Chain A
Amino acid sequence: MRGYRYIDGLATLQVDCERCVGCGACVVVCPHRIFSLEAGRLEINDPDLCMECGACARNCPVQAITVDAGVGCAAAVLSAWVNRFFGRKVLSDCC
C-alpha cells in the first residue's frame, strides 16, 4: 500500500502491552502490516496506517487490543447520521 496515507493522528488503535502475550495473531491478520513482534514484544510500526477494520482486536485471545472498529465509508456514515437525527431508519446502508 505504498503511496497511500489517510489522515494522520486519528486512529483509535491501542495496545495494552501488559496484557499482550506475544502470540502474533494481530501480526498475521492486519491488512496494512502495522504490527511486528520484536523478541516476543509487540511493536506498532505506523499507527497512522490503521484503517480500523478491527481484525486485530477480534483475533486477540487476551483482549489486549482496542479499536473503534467500523467501515470507513462516507455513505454508511451519512446513513448513520441521518438515521440518528430522525431516530429511525430513513436511509439504508449502501452495501
Chain B
Amino acid sequence: MGSPGPQSPVLVTANYKLSFDALRHRLGRVDAWLLVVDTRGINVWCAAGKSTFSAEEVCECVRRFRLGELVSHRQLILPQLAAPGVAAQAVRKGCGFSALFGPVRAADVATYLANGQRCNEAMRTVTFSLAERAVLIPVELFLVGRSLLIALAVAVLLSGLGPMVFSPTAALERGLMLLAGAGFGLLGGAVLTPLLLPWLPGRQFWLKGVVAALPLAIFGLLGPGRNLGAAEQAALALWTIALSSYLAMNFTGSTPFTSLSGVEYEMRRGLPVQLGAAGLALILWLAAPFC
C-alpha cells in the first residue's frame, strides 16, 4: 500500500475479497505492508472462529514472505476480530514478531495508526446497525434459495393430488397459494426479522420470526387466501409462520452477538415447534381436497 519502507507498519488481514478490499480502500494514503493470511476465502471473524486464521498461519506467512527482511521492526497489527483464533503470545513465540490487535473495522485503521496505535472503546466494539443488517438480506435469501426452491417444486406437485388422483389445474392454483405463503414466510424471516431485529419482542430468534410472520399470515388470509377452506387457510398460516421462524433462527449466524450456548438453547425449543407446524401444515394441505 502506498510506498512502504522498512519502518512502515505491517497490517495482517484475511484473503476474503471483501476484507481485503475494505482495508485497501479505507487506508487512504497510509504507507503500509499488507500481510494476507490464507483463510481459504473466509472472512476474518469466521476464519478466526474456526481457527483457519491462527497464530500458526500468521507465522507461516511471515516466514513465507520473508517479512523479517522487508521491515526493520518486529511488530504485526492484526484485526481485533482475529483474536478468537490468534493468540498474540503464540505469534511472538512462533516468529518473533509481536502481535498487536488493531480496531474492529478497516475504516478505523488509519485513525488507529495516526493516534499512535491506540483505539478508543468505539473502535473496539462490534456494531449491528440498520445498514449492516440490511446488506445481509440478499445473503439470507441466497443461502436458503436452492433448498427452498426444491421443496417448493415438490410441494406444488403434491398440491395437485386430490380425488381425481392428479389435477394440473389444482396443482397450479393451490401451488400458487403455497408459493405466496412461502413468499410471506421469506419476507418475515429473511427480510423483516433482520430489519426490525432490535424491536421485535423476545430474545430468541425463532420467536422473533413467529412475531414477524403473524401480521403477514393474517394479511395473506384476508387477501389472496380469503376464498380458501378453513383447513387450507390453517395450513398456509402454519407454513408461513414455520418458515419465517426457521429463517429468523438461521439469522443468528449472521449476527455479531449470539452465543453458541444460546443458539443451542433456542434451537432445542424452536426446531420442534417449526417441524411440528410445518408437518401439520403439510397434513392439512394434503387432506383438504378430500374433505
The interface of chain A, by Cβ under 8 A from chain B, is: 1, 3-8, 10-12, 25, 28-33, 49-55, 58-59, 61, 68-78, 93-95
Q: Is B249 in contact with A71, judged by CB distance below 8 angstroms?
A: no
Interface residues of B (CB under 8 A from A): 42, 45-46, 48-50, 80-81, 83-89, 101, 104, 121, 124-128, 143, 197-198, 203-205, 249-250, 252-267, 271
B121, B198, B261, most chain A CB atoms within 10 A: B261
Residues from chain A with a CB closer than 8 A to the CB of B124 are 28, 30-31, 33
Q: Please indicate the chain B residues that have their CB under 8 angstroms from the CB of A53 in the complex.
A: 45, 48-49, 83-84
What is the chain A residue whose CB lies nearest that of B260?
A70
3 shortest A-B CB distances, which residue pairs?
A73-B253, A70-B260, A55-B83
A6-B203, A32-B126 given; A1·B88 CB < 8 A: no
In the complex, the answer to whether A72 meets B128 with C-beta atoms within 8 Å is: no
A53–B271 Cα distance when bound, in Å, is 24
Name B257's contact: one of A1, A10, A93 (CB within 8 Å): A1
Other than A50-B259, A74-B263, give 18 A-B pairs with Cβ distance below 8 A.
A1-B126, A4-B257, A6-B257, A7-B262, A11-B262, A25-B88, A31-B126, A33-B124, A51-B256, A53-B45, A53-B83, A55-B81, A55-B83, A73-B252, A75-B253, A77-B267, A78-B267, A94-B253
- Least Cβ–Cβ distance between A5 and chain B, in angstroms: 6
Chain A: minimal CB distance from B188 (Å) = 16
User: B193 to chain A: closest CB distance in Å?
Assistant: 12
Residues of B within 8 A of A25 (CB): 88
Which residues of A sit under 8 angstroms from B203, Cβ to Cβ? Answer: 5-8
B250 and A55 within 8 A (CB): no
Chain B residue contacts of A49, Cβ below 8 A: 257
Q: Which residues of A contact B48 (CB under 8 A)?
A: 53, 55
User: What would 10 A/B residue contacts be, using CB atoms closer than 8 Å?
Assistant: A1-B125, A25-B88, A33-B124, A54-B84, A69-B84, A71-B49, A74-B205, A74-B250, A78-B267, A94-B143
B264 engages A31 (CB within 8 Å): no
Name the A residues within 8 Å of B263 (CB-CB): 72-74, 77
Cβ–Cβ < 8 Å partners of B45 in chain A: 53
Determine the distance from Cα of A61 to Cα of B92 in the docked complex, in whole angstroms: 12
From B46, B125, B259, A31 is in contact (CB under 8 Å) with: B125
A78–B131 CA distance with the chains assembled, in angstroms? 28
Measured CA separation A50–B254 after assembly (Å): 16
Residue of A nearest to B43 (CB): A95
In the complex, chain A residues whose CB is within 8 Å of the CB of B197: 4
Given contacts A54-B84, A59-B87, A73-B253, contact A4 B128 (CB under 8 A): yes
Complex Cα gap A9–B265 (Å)? 11
Nearest neighbor of B144 in chain A, beta-carbon distance: A75
Across the two chains, which residue of chain A brings its CB closest to B121?
A33
A residues near B249, Cβ cutoff 8 Å: 74
Q: Tell me the bound Cα distance from A10 to B265 in angstroms.
A: 8
Considering residues A25, A28, A69, A74, which has the most beta carbons from chain B within 10 angstroms of its beta carbon?
Answer: A74
How far apart sit A51 and B45, CA to CA, in the bound complex (Å)? Answer: 13
A55 to B55, CA, bound (A): 13
Cβ–Cβ < 8 Å partners of B126 in chain A = 1, 31-32
Chain B residues within an 8 Å CB radius of A70: 49, 260
Which A residues lie within 8 Å of B143 (CB)?
75, 94
Taking a contact as CB atoms under 8 Å apart, the answer to whether A29 and B83 are in contact is: yes
Q: CA separation between A32 and B198, bound complex, in Å?
A: 16
